[in-house]
Structure 1
Amino acid sequence: VTFTNKAAAEMRHRIGQLMGTSQGGMWVGTFHGLAHRLLRAHHMDANLPQDFQILDSEDQLRLLKRLIKAMNLDEKQWPPRQAMWYINSQKDEGLRP
Structure 2
Amino acid sequence: SILFQQQQEDFTEPSGNLMFSRNQEKDVGNFDSQEIREFHETLQPDEQEKVPPQNLMGMIGEDGSERIEWPLGSGNMWGRENSDYSWERVD
Provide TM-score, normalisation by structure 2.
0.22
Who wins on radius of gyration, i.e. which is larger? Answer: 2
TM-score, structure 1 as length reference = 0.21
Q: Considering fraction of residues, name the structure with more helix.
A: 1
Counting strand residues as a fraction of each chain, which structure ranks higher? 2
